[in-house]
Structure 1
Amino acid sequence: MNKAELVEAIQNNLGKDATKRLAEDALSAVLTSITEGVKKDGKVQLIGFGTFEVKTRAARKGRNPKTGEEMQIKASKTVGFKASSSLKGSL
């Protein structure tokens, strides 16, 4: 499912009076709120769905796939998602 299909699904779930623009605005608001929550608190937990959390990756050594030369990869941050048990159970 891509973003356009998700907007259409949201529109269908909101009912016949919902416009595509309303569904797109709703999706945008949710994604923006999750982004801001992760930036501010480091974690956003949606009961029954899952948890978005900032994870840190340690610095490590890697290899350049083109040359095979060893290189240092810097430490970084990323966002991880852990699905809730109820979401896992529904699959």
Structure 2
Amino acid sequence: MNRIELVEKIAATHNVSKAEAARILETVTGSIVAAVKKGDPVQIIGFGTFKQVARAARSGFNPQAGTKIKIAAQKVPKFVPGASFKAAVDPKAAKRKADKAAEKPVAKKAAAKPVTKKAAVAAKKK
């Protein structure tokens, strides 16, 4: 699906003109871009999270020239899909995750502190 198809889908679903649907889509995407550019994550529950991540400087390889090159550090946008989105794309993955969670042993509670003689005597007196 491309932008035009998405605008047509919004217009048909919500009974608005294509121009209005395009403005709504532009507002949504523009707001997400502006927030991520500032460094703020945009979390849409069930859909996913848009955020900015810092990529460290690294060395690369130019295959055309056959030489090593330095790639500068940069900030890049990242999208992490939400649980509902993942389940919609691959329902089997959601089932596998639930099965794995059921297999994990339950964490044990921390052991109680050993009782000292003094504390045992005080408890008996009460």
Provide the TM-score with structure 2 as the length reference.
0.68
Alpha-carbon offset, residue 55 of structure 1: 0.9
Name the counterpart of 1:22: 20
Alpha-carbon offset, residue 65 of structure 1: 2.0
Alpha-carbon offset, residue 40 of structure 1: 2.4
Residue in structure 2 matching 1:48, options 23, 46, 49? 46
* One-letter code aligned to 1:34: I
**Using CA pairs below 8 Å that are at least 6 residues apart, which structure has the higher relative contact order?**
1
* One-letter code aligned to 2:80: K
Question: Sequence identity of aligned pairs in percent?
Answer: 43
Gapped regions of structure 2 (runs ≥ 5): 90-126
The answer to whether the 8 Å contact 2:10/2:21 transfers is: yes
Aligned ranges for residues 3-14 of structure 1 at < 5 Å?
3-14=3-14
Q: Secondary structure of 2:33's match?
A: helix
What stretches of structure 1 move > 3 A for 4+ residues in a row? none
Distance 2:10 2:57 in 1: 41
Q: Secondary structure of 1:90's match?
A: helix
* One-letter code aligned to 2:22: E
Q: Secondary structure of 2:53's match?
A: strand
- Higher percent of residues as strand: 1
* Count of residue correspondences: 89
Gapped regions of structure 1 (runs ≥ 5): none
Larger deviation, residues 6-15 vs 39-48: 39-48
> What are the superposed Cα offsets for residues 45-72 of structure 1, whole Å, 9 maximum, x if unpaired?
1111100010111111101121110011
The answer to whether the 8 Å contact 2:39/2:52 transfers is: no
Name the counterpart of 1:81: 79
Alpha-carbon offset, residue 39 of structure 1: 2.0
Which entry has the higher C-alpha Rg, 1 or 2?
2
